[in-house]
Homo-oligomer: A and B are copies of this chain.
Amino acid sequence: MKEYNVVGHSVRRLDAVEKATGTAGFTSDMKLPGMLYAKVLRSPYAHARILSIDTSEAEKLPGVKAVATHKNTPRELFNTSATMTFTVPPMVPVLDQYIFDNVVRYVGDEVAAVAAVTEKIAEAALKLIKVEYELLPAVFDPLEAMTPEAPVIHESHKKNIPGGEVIQIPYGDAEKGFAESDLIIEKTFKVPVQKQAQMETQAAVAQVGLDGKITVWSTTQTPHPTKMILAKIFSVPESKIRVLNPPYIGGGFGVRIGLSAKAEPIAVALSMLAKKPVKIVYTRKEDFIASDTRHAGYVTVKLGAKKDGAFHAMYLKAILNGGAYCSFSCETPGVLGCMGMAVYRIPNQFYYGHSVYTNTTPSGAMRGFGNPQAMYPIESVVDMMAEQLGMDPLELRLKNIMQVGDPWPLPYKCSSTGLAECIAKGARSIGWEKRGKLNKPGAKKLRGIGMGVGTHCSNAWPWCGDYDNAYITVQQDGSIHLATGVPDMGTGTSTSLPQIAAEVMGVGLDKVSITFADSASTPFTIGSHASRTLYAAGTAVVEAARDARKQVLEYAGEFLKVAPERLELKDSVIYVTGQAVGNDCSGSGVCQTGESERKSISLKELAYNAHLRNKQFIGVGRIVPDNAPPWHAHFAEVEVDTELGQIRVIKVAAVHDVGKAVNPMIVEGQIEGGVLMGIGYALSEEIKYDEKGKQLHDSFHKYMLATADDTPEIDVMIVESNDPTGPFGAKGVGETGLVPTAAAIANAVYDATGIRFTEIPLTEERVFRALAENRK
Q: Which residues of A contact B (CB under 8 A)?
A: 14-18, 21, 23, 29, 31, 33, 85-86, 88-89, 209-211, 213, 227-228, 231, 237-240, 242, 465-467, 469, 471, 473, 475-477, 479-481, 483, 510-513, 515, 518, 520-521, 523-524, 611-616, 618, 620, 622, 624
Contact = CB atoms under 8 A, between A and B. Distances in A.
A129 to B, nearest CB: 29
A523 B475 CA distance: 9
Contacts of A518: 521
B228 A477 contact: yes
Contacts of A33: 29, 31
A513 B521 CA distance: 12
Contact of A15 (B211, B227, B612): B211
B469 A616 contact: yes
A238 B511 CA distance: 8
A31 B30 CA distance: 11
A-B pairs, top 7 by smallest CB distance, nearest first, are A237-B479, A521-B521, A467-B614, A239-B479, A238-B475, A239-B513, A614-B624
Given A616-B524, A618-B622, A511 B237 contact: yes
A21 B237 contact: no
Contacts of A512: 239
Nearest to A231: B477
Contact of A524 (B89, B240, B469, B473): B473
Nearest to A521: B521
Contacts of A620: 618, 620
Contact of A238 (B29, B479, B510, B614): B479
A159 B365 CA distance: 73
Given A14-B211, A29-B33, A477 B237 contact: yes
A524 B476 contact: yes
B511 A211 contact: no
Given A211-B18, A480-B239, A612-B465, A521 B510 contact: no
Contacts of A209: 18, 23
Contacts of A237: 475, 477, 479, 510-511, 513
Contacts of A473: 523-524
Nearest to A31: B33
Contacts of A29: 33
Contacts of A240: 479, 513
Contacts of A16: 211
A502 to B, nearest CB: 11
Nearest to A32: B31
User: Most chain-B Cβ atoms within 10 A of its Cβ — which of A85, A467, A480, A611?
Assistant: A611
A549 B473 CA distance: 23
B476 A211 contact: no
27 contacts: A14-B211, A17-B211, A18-B209, A18-B211, A29-B33, A31-B33, A85-B476, A237-B511, A237-B513, A238-B475, A238-B479, A239-B481, A239-B512, A239-B513, A240-B513, A465-B611, A465-B613, A483-B520, A483-B521, A513-B520, A515-B521, A520-B521, A521-B521, A615-B622, A616-B622, A618-B620, A620-B620
A242 B512 CA distance: 13
Contact of A612 (B88, B227, B611, B622): B88
A467 B611 CA distance: 9
Given A17-B210, A21-B210, 11 more contacts: A17-B211, A18-B210, A31-B33, A88-B612, A228-B476, A228-B477, A237-B477, A237-B511, A239-B481, A483-B521, A524-B611
Contacts of A615: 467, 622, 624
A510 B231 CA distance: 14
A541 to B, nearest CB: 14
A620 B470 CA distance: 12
